[in-house]
Protein backbone atom coordinates (compact mmCIF):
# COMPACT_ATOMS: atom_id res chain seq x y z
CA UNK A 1 0.00 0.00 0.00
CA UNK A 2 1.37 3.43 -0.86
CA UNK A 3 2.08 5.98 1.83
CA UNK A 4 -0.56 8.28 0.30
CA UNK A 5 -3.27 5.64 0.57
CA UNK A 6 -2.18 4.72 4.11
CA UNK A 7 -2.47 8.36 5.16
CA UNK A 8 -5.73 8.90 3.28
CA UNK A 9 -7.49 6.03 4.99
CA UNK A 10 -6.28 6.82 8.49
CA UNK A 11 -6.19 10.58 8.98
CA UNK A 12 -8.97 12.02 6.82
CA UNK A 13 -10.64 14.63 9.00
CA UNK A 14 -9.37 17.22 11.48
CA UNK A 15 -5.67 17.36 12.43
CA UNK A 16 -6.50 15.85 15.82
CA UNK A 17 -9.14 13.37 14.75
CA UNK A 18 -9.73 11.00 11.86
CA UNK A 19 -13.15 10.72 10.24
CA UNK A 20 -14.52 7.22 10.68
CA UNK A 21 -16.88 6.16 7.90
CA UNK A 22 -18.64 3.59 10.07
CA UNK A 23 -19.78 6.36 12.44
CA UNK A 24 -21.76 8.21 9.76
CA UNK A 25 -25.58 8.05 10.13
CA UNK A 26 -25.26 5.42 12.81
CA UNK A 27 -28.44 3.39 13.50
CA UNK A 28 -29.61 2.45 16.98
CA UNK A 29 -27.98 -1.00 17.16
CA UNK A 30 -24.31 -1.53 16.29
CA UNK A 31 -22.52 -4.89 16.39
CA UNK A 32 -18.72 -5.01 16.55
CA UNK A 33 -17.46 -8.44 15.57
CA UNK A 34 -14.30 -10.13 14.33
CA UNK A 35 -11.48 -12.45 15.30
CA UNK A 36 -10.43 -12.35 18.93
CA UNK A 37 -7.77 -9.81 19.88
CA UNK A 38 -8.32 -7.38 16.99
CA UNK A 39 -9.53 -4.61 19.28
CA UNK A 40 -13.33 -4.92 19.16
CA UNK A 41 -13.67 -3.75 22.75
CA UNK A 42 -11.42 -0.71 22.19
CA UNK A 43 -13.28 0.29 19.01
CA UNK A 44 -16.68 -0.20 20.67
CA UNK A 45 -15.66 1.81 23.76
CA UNK A 46 -14.15 4.61 21.66
CA UNK A 47 -17.36 4.73 19.61
CA UNK A 48 -19.38 5.05 22.81
CA UNK A 49 -17.21 8.02 23.85
CA UNK A 50 -17.73 9.66 20.42
CA UNK A 51 -21.49 9.34 20.70
CA UNK A 52 -21.78 10.53 24.30
CA UNK A 53 -19.56 13.52 23.47
CA UNK A 54 -22.27 14.62 21.05
CA UNK A 55 -24.98 14.29 23.70
CA UNK A 56 -26.30 10.81 22.91
CA UNK A 57 -27.34 8.30 25.57
CA UNK A 58 -25.48 5.07 24.96
CA UNK A 59 -25.66 1.54 26.35
CA UNK A 60 -22.51 -0.48 25.78
CA UNK A 61 -23.18 -4.22 25.98
CA UNK A 62 -20.77 -7.14 26.02
CA UNK A 63 -22.06 -10.52 24.82
CA UNK A 64 -18.66 -12.10 25.46
CA UNK A 65 -18.62 -14.60 28.36
CA UNK A 66 -15.12 -13.23 29.07
CA UNK A 67 -16.02 -9.55 28.88
CA UNK A 68 -13.48 -6.86 29.83
CA UNK A 69 -15.47 -3.63 29.43
CA UNK A 70 -15.31 -3.16 33.20
CA UNK A 71 -11.52 -3.52 33.13
CA UNK A 72 -11.25 -0.92 30.37
CA UNK A 73 -13.18 1.70 32.36
CA UNK A 74 -11.83 0.64 35.76
CA UNK A 75 -15.23 -0.19 37.28
CA UNK A 76 -17.25 -3.28 38.15
CA UNK A 77 -19.96 -4.02 35.59
CA UNK A 78 -22.31 -6.96 35.88
CA UNK A 79 -25.60 -8.28 34.61
CA UNK A 80 -27.42 -5.01 35.34
CA UNK A 81 -27.21 -1.68 33.52
CA UNK A 82 -24.44 0.30 35.22
CA UNK A 83 -23.58 3.96 34.69
CA UNK A 84 -19.96 4.74 33.83
CA UNK A 85 -19.08 7.57 36.27
CA UNK A 86 -16.29 9.02 34.14
CA UNK A 87 -18.47 9.37 31.01
CA UNK A 88 -21.73 11.35 31.09
CA UNK A 89 -24.49 9.57 29.18
CA UNK A 90 -22.75 6.17 29.05
CA UNK A 91 -24.04 3.00 30.69
CA UNK A 92 -22.72 -0.52 30.34
CA UNK A 93 -23.94 -4.08 30.71
CA UNK A 94 -22.02 -7.34 30.67
CA UNK A 95 -24.18 -10.38 29.99
CA UNK A 96 -22.80 -12.58 32.75
CA UNK A 97 -23.60 -16.21 31.87
CA UNK A 98 -23.74 -17.35 35.51
CA UNK A 99 -26.09 -14.57 36.60
CA UNK A 100 -28.18 -14.96 33.45
CA UNK A 101 -28.54 -18.69 34.21
CA UNK A 102 -29.52 -17.98 37.83
CA UNK A 103 -32.19 -15.48 36.74
CA UNK A 104 -33.46 -17.78 33.97
CA UNK A 105 -33.57 -20.78 36.32
CA UNK A 106 -35.53 -18.81 38.90
CA UNK A 107 -38.07 -17.69 36.27
CA UNK A 108 -38.60 -21.34 35.28
CA UNK A 109 -38.78 -22.75 38.82
CA UNK A 110 -40.65 -20.01 40.70
CA UNK A 111 -44.12 -20.84 39.25
CA UNK A 112 -43.90 -24.49 40.40
CA UNK A 113 -42.13 -23.99 43.72
CA UNK A 114 -44.54 -25.17 46.42
CA UNK A 115 -46.61 -27.11 43.88
CA UNK A 116 -44.10 -29.89 43.21
CA UNK A 117 -42.31 -32.15 45.73
CA UNK A 118 -38.81 -31.13 46.79
CA UNK A 119 -37.17 -34.01 44.90
CA UNK A 120 -38.82 -32.93 41.65
CA UNK A 121 -37.72 -29.32 42.25
CA UNK A 122 -34.17 -30.59 42.81
CA UNK A 123 -34.31 -32.62 39.59
CA UNK A 124 -35.62 -29.60 37.68
CA UNK A 125 -32.85 -27.42 39.12
CA UNK A 126 -30.25 -29.97 38.00
CA UNK A 127 -31.76 -30.08 34.49
CA UNK A 128 -31.29 -26.31 34.30
CA UNK A 129 -27.58 -26.40 35.20
CA UNK A 130 -25.83 -27.37 31.96
CA UNK A 131 -24.22 -25.47 29.10
CA UNK A 132 -27.45 -25.59 27.09
CA UNK A 133 -29.17 -23.53 29.79
CA UNK A 134 -26.25 -21.11 29.78
CA UNK A 135 -26.65 -20.53 26.06
CA UNK A 136 -30.42 -20.05 26.24
CA UNK A 137 -30.21 -17.73 29.25
CA UNK A 138 -27.53 -15.51 27.68
CA UNK A 139 -29.48 -15.43 24.45
CA UNK A 140 -32.63 -14.47 26.36
CA UNK A 141 -30.81 -11.41 27.69
CA UNK A 142 -29.53 -10.53 24.22
CA UNK A 143 -33.00 -10.77 22.65
CA UNK A 144 -34.44 -8.45 25.27
CA UNK A 145 -31.95 -5.73 24.34
CA UNK A 146 -33.20 -5.82 20.75
CA UNK A 147 -36.90 -5.95 21.50
CA UNK A 148 -37.66 -4.50 24.96
CA UNK A 149 -38.38 -0.82 24.32
CA UNK A 150 -39.88 -0.43 27.78
CA UNK A 151 -36.64 -1.47 29.42
CA UNK A 152 -34.09 0.04 27.02
CA UNK A 153 -35.99 2.64 25.02
CA UNK A 154 -34.24 5.51 26.77
CA UNK A 155 -30.96 4.80 24.98
CA UNK A 156 -30.24 6.44 21.63
CA UNK A 157 -27.73 3.72 20.74
CA UNK A 158 -27.02 0.20 21.97
CA UNK A 159 -23.52 -0.98 21.04
CA UNK A 160 -22.69 -4.69 21.20
CA UNK A 161 -19.08 -5.64 21.91
CA UNK A 162 -19.37 -9.26 20.88
CA UNK A 163 -17.49 -12.44 21.66
CA UNK A 164 -14.90 -13.64 19.12
CA UNK A 165 -16.31 -14.63 15.75
CA UNK A 166 -17.40 -18.25 16.16
CA UNK A 167 -19.37 -17.53 19.34
CA UNK A 168 -20.88 -14.37 17.81
CA UNK A 169 -22.08 -16.12 14.66
CA UNK A 170 -23.73 -18.68 16.91
CA UNK A 171 -25.44 -15.92 18.92
CA UNK A 172 -26.67 -13.99 15.88
CA UNK A 173 -27.94 -17.15 14.22
CA UNK A 174 -29.91 -18.23 17.29
CA UNK A 175 -33.00 -16.02 16.72
CA UNK A 176 -33.57 -17.80 13.43
CA UNK A 177 -32.58 -21.21 14.83
CA UNK A 178 -34.99 -21.05 17.76
CA UNK A 179 -37.72 -19.48 15.62
CA UNK A 180 -37.37 -22.30 13.08
CA UNK A 181 -37.30 -24.92 15.83
CA UNK A 182 -40.48 -23.61 17.42
CA UNK A 183 -42.40 -22.92 14.21
CA UNK A 184 -41.66 -26.38 12.77
CA UNK A 185 -43.13 -28.23 15.72
CA UNK A 186 -40.26 -28.30 18.23
CA UNK A 187 -41.56 -29.10 21.69
CA UNK A 188 -40.82 -26.34 24.20
CA UNK A 189 -43.44 -27.35 26.72
CA UNK A 190 -41.37 -29.86 28.69
CA UNK A 191 -39.73 -28.96 31.97
CA UNK A 192 -36.04 -28.29 31.45
CA UNK A 193 -33.95 -25.76 29.53
CA UNK A 194 -36.45 -25.38 26.68
CA UNK A 195 -39.48 -24.77 28.87
CA UNK A 196 -39.28 -20.98 28.60
CA UNK A 197 -38.85 -20.77 24.84
CA UNK A 198 -42.42 -20.95 23.57
CA UNK A 199 -43.53 -17.68 25.16
CA UNK A 200 -40.45 -15.99 23.64
CA UNK A 201 -41.33 -16.96 20.06
CA UNK A 202 -42.61 -13.47 19.18
CA UNK A 203 -39.57 -11.79 20.75
CA UNK A 204 -37.22 -14.02 18.73
CA UNK A 205 -39.01 -13.13 15.51
CA UNK A 206 -38.77 -9.43 16.40
CA UNK A 207 -35.04 -9.89 17.05
CA UNK A 208 -34.59 -11.37 13.57
CA UNK A 209 -36.31 -8.35 12.01
CA UNK A 210 -34.12 -5.93 14.00
CA UNK A 211 -30.89 -7.71 13.05
CA UNK A 212 -31.68 -7.77 9.33
CA UNK A 213 -32.85 -4.15 8.99
CA UNK A 214 -29.88 -1.85 8.06
CA UNK A 215 -31.83 1.19 9.24
CA UNK A 216 -31.88 -0.34 12.74
CA UNK A 217 -28.68 -2.40 12.90
CA UNK A 218 -25.12 -1.85 11.63
CA UNK A 219 -22.51 -4.59 11.40
CA UNK A 220 -18.92 -3.42 11.98
CA UNK A 221 -16.31 -6.02 11.03
CA UNK A 222 -13.15 -5.30 13.03
CA UNK A 223 -9.83 -6.76 11.91
CA UNK A 224 -6.08 -6.37 12.04
CA UNK A 225 -3.98 -6.00 8.91
CA UNK A 226 -3.29 -9.73 8.89
CA UNK A 227 -4.48 -12.29 6.33
CA UNK A 228 -6.00 -14.58 8.99
CA UNK A 229 -8.00 -11.75 10.60
CA UNK A 230 -9.17 -10.35 7.24
CA UNK A 231 -10.14 -13.81 6.02
CA UNK A 232 -12.05 -14.29 9.27
CA UNK A 233 -14.24 -11.22 8.81
CA UNK A 234 -14.77 -12.27 5.19
CA UNK A 235 -16.13 -15.63 6.38
CA UNK A 236 -18.15 -13.90 9.10
CA UNK A 237 -19.73 -11.53 6.60
CA UNK A 238 -20.66 -14.45 4.33
CA UNK A 239 -22.34 -16.35 7.18
CA UNK A 240 -24.19 -13.34 8.54
CA UNK A 241 -25.27 -12.25 5.05
CA UNK A 242 -26.90 -15.67 4.76
CA UNK A 243 -29.21 -14.78 7.67
CA UNK A 244 -29.99 -11.34 6.24
CA UNK A 245 -27.24 -9.10 7.67
CA UNK A 246 -26.06 -8.17 4.18
CA UNK A 247 -24.46 -4.75 4.80
CA UNK A 248 -21.29 -4.06 6.75
CA UNK A 249 -18.37 -1.76 7.45
CA UNK A 250 -14.72 -2.83 7.74
CA UNK A 251 -12.44 -1.36 10.43
CA UNK A 252 -8.76 -2.36 10.29
CA UNK A 253 -7.25 -1.61 13.67
CA UNK A 254 -3.70 -1.27 14.99
CA UNK A 255 -1.93 -0.07 11.81
CA UNK A 256 1.73 0.65 12.61
CA UNK A 257 2.38 4.34 11.81
CA UNK A 258 5.39 5.59 9.89
CA UNK A 259 7.66 7.48 12.29
CA UNK A 260 11.14 8.91 12.26
CA UNK A 261 13.98 6.61 13.23
CA UNK A 262 12.25 3.40 12.15
CA UNK A 263 14.18 0.14 12.25
CA UNK A 264 14.03 -3.03 10.13
CA UNK A 265 11.40 -4.77 12.25
CA UNK A 266 9.01 -1.80 11.93
CA UNK A 267 9.57 -1.63 8.17
CA UNK A 268 8.95 -5.37 7.87
CA UNK A 269 5.74 -5.21 9.94
CA UNK A 270 4.38 -2.33 7.83
CA UNK A 271 5.21 -4.20 4.63
CA UNK A 272 3.26 -7.20 5.97
CA UNK A 273 0.30 -4.97 6.80
CA UNK A 274 0.30 -3.29 3.39
CA UNK A 275 0.42 -6.65 1.62
CA UNK A 276 -2.47 -7.99 3.71
CA UNK A 277 -4.66 -4.97 2.99
CA UNK A 278 -3.82 -5.07 -0.71
CA UNK A 279 -4.97 -8.70 -0.80
CA UNK A 280 -8.22 -8.13 1.15
CA UNK A 281 -10.85 -10.73 0.11
CA UNK A 282 -13.09 -9.51 -2.74
CA UNK A 283 -16.34 -9.99 -0.80
CA UNK A 284 -15.39 -7.33 1.74
CA UNK A 285 -13.07 -5.23 -0.44
CA UNK A 286 -16.00 -3.10 -1.62
CA UNK A 287 -17.37 -2.38 1.87
CA UNK A 288 -16.75 1.05 3.43
CA UNK A 289 -13.37 0.85 5.18
CA UNK A 290 -11.56 2.67 8.00
CA UNK A 291 -7.96 2.26 9.16
CA UNK A 292 -7.05 3.00 12.79
CA UNK A 293 -3.41 3.60 13.71
CA UNK A 294 -1.63 1.85 16.56
CA UNK A 295 -1.24 4.16 19.53
CA UNK A 296 1.88 4.15 21.73
CA UNK A 297 -0.12 3.54 24.93
CA UNK A 298 -2.53 0.75 25.88
CA UNK A 299 -6.21 1.53 25.34
CA UNK A 300 -7.32 1.43 28.98
CA UNK A 301 -9.36 4.24 30.52
CA UNK A 302 -11.55 6.92 28.97
CA UNK A 303 -8.63 9.33 28.45
CA UNK A 304 -6.65 6.81 26.38
CA UNK A 305 -9.71 5.62 24.45
CA UNK A 306 -10.53 9.18 23.42
CA UNK A 307 -7.33 9.14 21.32
CA UNK A 308 -8.02 5.88 19.45
CA UNK A 309 -9.45 7.49 16.31
CA UNK A 310 -6.76 10.20 16.23
CA UNK A 311 -3.55 9.90 14.16
CA UNK A 312 -0.97 8.12 16.29
CA UNK A 313 1.15 10.44 18.39
CA UNK A 314 4.72 10.69 17.12
CA UNK A 315 6.96 9.28 19.84
CA UNK A 316 9.23 12.13 20.86
CA UNK A 317 12.84 11.91 21.79
CA UNK A 318 15.64 9.50 21.04
CA UNK A 319 16.28 6.04 22.34
CA UNK A 320 18.07 7.57 25.28
CA UNK A 321 14.80 9.18 26.42
CA UNK A 322 13.13 5.77 26.74
CA UNK A 323 13.46 3.25 29.60
CA UNK A 324 16.44 1.02 28.94
CA UNK A 325 15.38 -1.95 31.10
CA UNK A 326 14.27 -4.86 28.94
CA UNK A 327 13.05 -8.28 30.07
CA UNK A 328 15.48 -11.17 30.00
CA UNK A 329 14.92 -13.71 27.24
CA UNK A 330 12.82 -16.78 28.07
CA UNK A 331 12.44 -18.78 24.85
CA UNK A 332 9.54 -21.13 24.19
CA UNK A 333 11.98 -24.03 23.72
CA UNK A 334 12.35 -24.30 27.52
CA UNK A 335 8.70 -25.31 27.76
CA UNK A 336 8.96 -27.63 24.75
CA UNK A 337 11.92 -29.43 26.36
CA UNK A 338 9.97 -30.02 29.59
CA UNK A 339 6.86 -31.22 27.73
CA UNK A 340 9.01 -33.72 25.85
CA UNK A 341 10.74 -34.97 29.01
CA UNK A 342 7.41 -35.62 30.73
CA UNK A 343 6.19 -37.81 27.86
CA UNK A 344 2.83 -38.16 26.08
CA UNK A 345 -0.07 -36.20 27.51
CA UNK A 346 -2.41 -33.29 26.90
CA UNK A 347 -1.26 -29.69 26.29
CA UNK A 348 -4.02 -27.07 26.18
CA UNK A 349 -3.30 -23.54 24.93
CA UNK A 350 -5.87 -21.20 26.43
CA UNK A 351 -6.44 -17.46 26.63
CA UNK A 352 -8.14 -14.41 25.21
CA UNK A 353 -8.92 -14.41 21.50
CA UNK A 354 -6.21 -13.01 19.26
CA UNK A 355 -3.25 -13.60 21.56
CA UNK A 356 -1.81 -16.25 19.26
CA UNK A 357 -2.98 -19.54 20.79
CA UNK A 358 -3.12 -21.19 17.37
CA UNK A 359 0.45 -20.14 16.56
CA UNK A 360 1.83 -21.28 19.93
CA UNK A 361 -0.05 -24.60 19.80
CA UNK A 362 1.15 -25.23 16.24
CA UNK A 363 4.76 -24.31 17.10
CA UNK A 364 4.85 -26.73 20.05
CA UNK A 365 3.27 -29.49 17.96
CA UNK A 366 5.71 -28.98 15.07
CA UNK A 367 8.70 -29.00 17.45
CA UNK A 368 7.62 -32.26 19.09
CA UNK A 369 6.89 -33.87 15.72
CA UNK A 370 10.27 -32.69 14.40
CA UNK A 371 11.88 -34.55 17.31
CA UNK A 372 10.18 -37.74 16.10
CA UNK A 373 7.16 -37.92 18.43
CA UNK A 374 3.62 -38.89 17.41
CA UNK A 375 1.55 -35.71 17.81
CA UNK A 376 -2.13 -34.83 17.38
CA UNK A 377 -2.85 -31.10 16.94
CA UNK A 378 -6.52 -30.18 17.18
CA UNK A 379 -8.72 -27.16 17.89
CA UNK A 380 -12.02 -26.48 19.66
CA UNK A 381 -12.18 -22.98 18.18
CA UNK A 382 -14.91 -22.54 15.52
CA UNK A 383 -12.83 -19.73 14.02
CA UNK A 384 -9.41 -21.39 14.09
CA UNK A 385 -7.61 -22.39 10.91
CA UNK A 386 -4.69 -24.62 11.77
CA UNK A 387 -4.05 -25.66 8.18
CA UNK A 388 -3.42 -22.03 7.21
CA UNK A 389 -0.89 -21.68 10.04
CA UNK A 390 0.94 -24.91 9.18
CA UNK A 391 0.77 -24.32 5.41
CA UNK A 392 1.63 -27.94 4.63
CA UNK A 393 2.02 -31.45 6.00
CA UNK A 394 4.47 -32.30 8.79
CA UNK A 395 5.83 -35.79 9.39
CA UNK A 396 4.59 -37.43 12.64
CA UNK A 397 1.91 -34.71 13.00
CA UNK A 398 -1.84 -35.32 12.61
CA UNK A 399 -4.08 -32.26 12.39
CA UNK A 400 -7.80 -32.24 13.12
CA UNK A 401 -10.56 -29.79 13.93
CA UNK A 402 -13.59 -30.30 16.13
CA UNK A 403 -16.12 -29.08 13.57
CA UNK A 404 -19.48 -28.33 15.24
CA UNK A 405 -21.54 -29.32 12.18
CA UNK A 406 -19.76 -32.67 11.74
CA UNK A 407 -19.88 -33.27 15.49
CA UNK A 408 -23.63 -32.65 15.55
CA UNK A 409 -24.25 -35.02 12.63
CA UNK A 410 -22.21 -37.79 14.27
CA UNK A 411 -23.87 -37.20 17.64
CA UNK A 412 -27.37 -37.32 16.16
CA UNK A 413 -26.58 -40.47 14.20
CA UNK A 414 -25.11 -42.13 17.30
CA UNK A 415 -28.11 -41.12 19.43
CA UNK A 416 -30.57 -42.50 16.91
CA UNK A 417 -28.60 -45.76 16.62
CA UNK A 418 -28.39 -46.23 20.41
CA UNK A 419 -31.18 -44.39 22.20
CA UNK A 420 -33.47 -44.79 19.20
CA UNK A 421 -32.93 -48.52 18.94
CA UNK A 422 -36.11 -50.39 19.86
CA UNK A 423 -38.30 -47.27 19.91
CA UNK A 424 -41.55 -47.23 17.98
CA UNK A 425 -42.14 -44.78 15.14
CA UNK A 426 -43.72 -42.11 17.34
CA UNK A 427 -40.95 -42.32 19.94
CA UNK A 428 -38.24 -42.13 17.27
CA UNK A 429 -39.92 -39.04 15.80
CA UNK A 430 -39.90 -37.43 19.26
CA UNK A 431 -36.18 -38.23 19.69
CA UNK A 432 -35.35 -36.78 16.25
CA UNK A 433 -37.26 -33.64 17.18
CA UNK A 434 -35.34 -33.31 20.42
CA UNK A 435 -32.03 -33.72 18.57
CA UNK A 436 -32.92 -30.81 16.27
CA UNK A 437 -32.64 -28.42 19.21
CA UNK A 438 -29.70 -25.97 18.96
CA UNK A 439 -28.71 -27.23 22.43
CA UNK A 440 -27.47 -30.41 20.78
CA UNK A 441 -24.49 -28.51 19.31
CA UNK A 442 -22.80 -27.90 22.67
CA UNK A 443 -23.26 -31.52 23.75
CA UNK A 444 -21.88 -32.82 20.46
CA UNK A 445 -18.76 -30.62 20.62
CA UNK A 446 -18.13 -31.79 24.19
CA UNK A 447 -18.19 -35.41 23.04
CA UNK A 448 -15.52 -34.65 20.40
CA UNK A 449 -13.48 -32.74 22.98
CA UNK A 450 -13.64 -35.76 25.29
CA UNK A 451 -12.39 -38.01 22.48
CA UNK A 452 -9.33 -35.78 21.98
CA UNK A 453 -8.60 -35.88 25.72
CA UNK A 454 -8.79 -39.68 25.61
CA UNK A 455 -6.18 -39.75 22.80
CA UNK A 456 -3.61 -38.09 25.09
CA UNK A 457 -3.10 -41.36 26.96
CA UNK A 458 -0.91 -42.68 24.14
CA UNK A 459 0.55 -39.66 22.31
CA UNK A 460 1.11 -35.91 22.60
CA UNK A 461 -2.20 -34.09 22.04
CA UNK A 462 -1.97 -30.31 21.61
CA UNK A 463 -5.33 -28.50 21.79
CA UNK A 464 -5.77 -24.99 20.46
CA UNK A 465 -8.83 -23.90 22.43
CA UNK A 466 -11.54 -21.42 21.58
CA UNK A 467 -11.25 -17.94 23.15
CA UNK A 468 -11.68 -17.82 26.91
CA UNK A 469 -15.45 -17.51 27.33
CA UNK A 470 -16.34 -20.26 24.89
CA UNK A 471 -13.71 -22.55 26.44
CA UNK A 472 -15.15 -21.99 29.92
CA UNK A 473 -18.56 -23.09 28.61
CA UNK A 474 -16.91 -26.25 27.28
CA UNK A 475 -15.24 -26.89 30.64
CA UNK A 476 -18.61 -26.28 32.30
CA UNK A 477 -19.97 -29.12 30.15
CA UNK A 478 -17.08 -31.29 31.38
CA UNK A 479 -18.05 -30.43 34.95
CA UNK A 480 -21.72 -31.22 34.35
CA UNK A 481 -20.80 -34.57 32.79
CA UNK A 482 -18.49 -35.35 35.73
CA UNK A 483 -21.29 -34.64 38.22
CA UNK A 484 -23.72 -36.84 36.27
CA UNK A 485 -21.28 -39.76 36.13
CA UNK A 486 -20.38 -39.40 39.81
CA UNK A 487 -24.05 -39.36 40.80
CA UNK A 488 -24.90 -42.38 38.61
CA UNK A 489 -21.88 -44.57 39.44
CA UNK A 490 -20.81 -43.27 42.82
CA UNK A 491 -18.50 -45.72 44.54
CA UNK A 492 -19.62 -48.70 42.48
CA UNK A 493 -16.71 -48.61 40.02
CA UNK A 494 -13.46 -46.88 39.14
CA UNK A 495 -13.84 -44.24 36.43
CA UNK A 496 -11.97 -41.29 34.93
CA UNK A 497 -13.99 -38.42 33.48
CA UNK A 498 -12.59 -35.76 31.10
CA UNK A 499 -12.64 -33.25 33.98
CA UNK A 500 -10.54 -35.58 36.16
CA UNK A 501 -7.99 -35.88 33.37
CA UNK A 502 -7.85 -32.09 33.02
CA UNK A 503 -7.29 -31.81 36.78
CA UNK A 504 -4.35 -34.24 36.73
CA UNK A 505 -1.05 -32.30 36.34
CA UNK A 506 0.72 -35.53 35.35
CA UNK A 507 -1.54 -35.83 32.30
CA UNK A 508 -2.49 -32.26 31.40
CA UNK A 509 -0.45 -29.08 30.96
CA UNK A 510 -2.46 -25.86 30.56
CA UNK A 511 -0.58 -23.00 28.90
CA UNK A 512 -2.11 -19.54 29.30
CA UNK A 513 -1.20 -17.48 26.25
CA UNK A 514 -1.34 -13.69 26.52
CA UNK A 515 0.05 -10.44 25.17
CA UNK A 516 2.09 -7.99 27.24
CA UNK A 517 -0.88 -5.63 27.48
CA UNK A 518 -3.13 -4.73 30.40
CA UNK A 519 -6.41 -6.27 29.25
CA UNK A 520 -5.08 -9.63 27.99
CA UNK A 521 -3.04 -10.09 31.18
CA UNK A 522 -6.03 -9.23 33.39
CA UNK A 523 -8.18 -11.65 31.46
CA UNK A 524 -5.57 -14.40 31.69
CA UNK A 525 -5.42 -13.85 35.46
CA UNK A 526 -9.21 -14.17 35.61
CA UNK A 527 -9.04 -17.35 33.54
CA UNK A 528 -6.43 -18.77 35.90
CA UNK A 529 -8.73 -18.12 38.86
CA UNK A 530 -11.67 -19.78 37.06
CA UNK A 531 -9.55 -22.81 36.22
CA UNK A 532 -8.23 -23.14 39.75
CA UNK A 533 -11.77 -23.08 41.14
CA UNK A 534 -12.41 -26.08 38.86
CA UNK A 535 -9.31 -27.81 40.21
CA UNK A 536 -7.24 -27.13 37.06
CA UNK A 537 -3.89 -25.47 37.68
CA UNK A 538 -2.11 -23.70 34.76
CA UNK A 539 1.34 -25.13 34.12
CA UNK A 540 2.92 -22.13 32.35
CA UNK A 541 2.25 -18.73 30.75
CA UNK A 542 3.40 -17.66 27.28
CA UNK A 543 3.72 -13.93 26.54
CA UNK A 544 3.40 -13.79 22.77
CA UNK A 545 4.31 -11.22 20.12
CA UNK A 546 6.27 -9.11 22.58
CA UNK A 547 7.86 -5.90 21.30
CA UNK A 548 9.98 -5.69 24.44
CA UNK A 549 11.36 -9.20 23.83
CA UNK A 550 12.43 -8.05 20.35
CA UNK A 551 14.62 -5.33 21.95
CA UNK A 552 13.56 -2.43 19.66
CA UNK A 553 15.67 0.68 19.05
CA UNK A 554 13.29 3.21 17.45
CA UNK A 555 11.54 5.65 19.79
CA UNK A 556 7.96 4.64 18.93
CA UNK A 557 8.53 0.90 19.42
CA UNK A 558 10.68 1.54 22.49
CA UNK A 559 7.77 3.49 23.99
CA UNK A 560 5.42 0.59 23.23
CA UNK A 561 7.99 -1.77 24.80
CA UNK A 562 8.14 0.33 27.96
CA UNK A 563 4.41 -0.17 28.45
CA UNK A 564 4.96 -3.94 28.14
CA UNK A 565 7.63 -4.18 30.84
CA UNK A 566 5.18 -3.74 33.73
CA UNK A 567 2.86 -6.42 32.36
CA UNK A 568 5.70 -8.90 31.82
CA UNK A 569 6.83 -8.35 35.41
CA UNK A 570 3.24 -8.94 36.56
CA UNK A 571 3.08 -12.23 34.66
CA UNK A 572 6.35 -13.37 36.20
CA UNK A 573 4.94 -12.71 39.67
CA UNK A 574 1.87 -14.80 38.84
CA UNK A 575 3.30 -17.79 36.99
CA UNK A 576 5.87 -20.42 37.95
CA UNK A 577 6.97 -20.83 34.30
CA UNK A 578 7.01 -18.08 31.67
CA UNK A 579 8.07 -18.03 28.01
CA UNK A 580 8.52 -14.79 26.05
CA UNK A 581 7.96 -14.92 22.29
CA UNK A 582 9.21 -11.77 20.50
CA UNK A 583 7.49 -9.87 17.71
CA UNK A 584 8.93 -11.35 14.52
CA UNK A 585 9.74 -9.65 11.25
CA UNK A 586 7.99 -12.43 9.35
CA UNK A 587 4.68 -14.03 10.30
CA UNK A 588 5.23 -17.52 11.78
CA UNK A 589 3.35 -19.36 9.04
CA UNK A 590 4.61 -22.71 7.79
CA UNK A 591 6.43 -25.53 9.57
CA UNK A 592 9.89 -24.03 9.12
CA UNK A 593 9.07 -20.67 10.75
CA UNK A 594 7.01 -22.35 13.48
CA UNK A 595 9.98 -24.56 14.30
CA UNK A 596 12.22 -21.48 14.42
CA UNK A 597 9.78 -19.85 16.86
CA UNK A 598 9.53 -22.95 19.07
CA UNK A 599 13.26 -23.61 19.21
CA UNK A 600 14.06 -20.03 20.20
CA UNK A 601 16.19 -19.16 17.19
CA UNK A 602 16.34 -15.50 16.14
CA UNK A 603 14.15 -14.72 13.15
CA UNK A 604 16.20 -14.11 10.00
CA UNK A 605 14.95 -12.17 6.95
Helix (H) / strand (E) containing 434: helix 425-435
What is the C-alpha separation between 269 and 9, in angstroms, rounded?
A: 18
pLDDT at 384: 57
Beta-carbon neighbour count of residue 381 at 10 Å? 26
64 is catalytic: yes
Catalytic residue among 217, 223, 465, 519: 519
Catalytic residue among 10, 34, 36, 37: 37
Helix (H) / strand (E) containing 218: strand 217-224
E-assigned strand segments in 25-69: 29-33, 58-62
pLDDT at 130: 55
469 is catalytic: no
pTM higher than the cut 0.75 = no
Cα–Cα distances (Å) from 38 to 54, 169, 225, 338, 485, in that order, read 26, 16, 9, 32, 40
Catalytic residue among 36, 47, 63, 64: 64
pLDDT at 366: 94
Q: How far is CA 315 from the centre of its chain?
A: 32
pLDDT tens for 554-572 read: 888 888 888 888 889 999 9
Reference 512, options 130, 66, 165, 35; nearest CA is 66
Residues spanned by CATH 3.40.50.300 within the chain? 3-310, 333-402+450-598
Architecture per CATH, 3-310: 3-Layer(aba) Sandwich (3.40)
Beta-carbon neighbour count of residue 160 at 10 Å? 28
Catalytic residue among 34, 35, 36, 40: 40
Pick the CATH number of 333-402+450-598 from 3.40.50.300, 2.30.30.90, 3.40.50.1820, 1.20.1250.20: 3.40.50.300
Give every residue of the chain whose pLDDT is below 70, as ranges.
1-18, 64-67, 96-98, 123-139, 163-204, 260-261, 312-327, 381-384, 402-408, 411, 433-448, 466-500, 601-605
pLDDT at 436: 62
317 is catalytic: no
41 is catalytic: yes
74 is catalytic: no
Q: What are phi and psi of 577, to 5 degrees?
A: -130, 135
Reference 521, options 566, 465, 579, 553; nearest CA is 566
Amino acid sequence: MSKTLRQEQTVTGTPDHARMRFLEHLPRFVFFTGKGGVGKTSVACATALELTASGRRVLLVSTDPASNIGQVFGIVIGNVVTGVPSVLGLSALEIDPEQAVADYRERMIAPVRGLLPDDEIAALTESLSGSCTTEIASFDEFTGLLTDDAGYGGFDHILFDTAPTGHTIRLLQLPGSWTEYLTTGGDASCLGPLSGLEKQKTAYADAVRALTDPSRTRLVLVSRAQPSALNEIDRTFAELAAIGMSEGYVVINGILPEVAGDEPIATAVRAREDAAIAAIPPRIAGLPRDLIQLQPANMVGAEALATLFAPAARAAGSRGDQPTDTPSDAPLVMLVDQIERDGPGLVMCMGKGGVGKTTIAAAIAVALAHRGHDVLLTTTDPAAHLTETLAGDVEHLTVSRIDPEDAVQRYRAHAMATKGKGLDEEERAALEEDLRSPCTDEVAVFHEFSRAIHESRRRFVIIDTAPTGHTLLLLDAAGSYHRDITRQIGGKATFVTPLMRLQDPERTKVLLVTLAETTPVLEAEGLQHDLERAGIHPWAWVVNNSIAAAHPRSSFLALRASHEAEQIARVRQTASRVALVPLLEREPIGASRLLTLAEGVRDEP
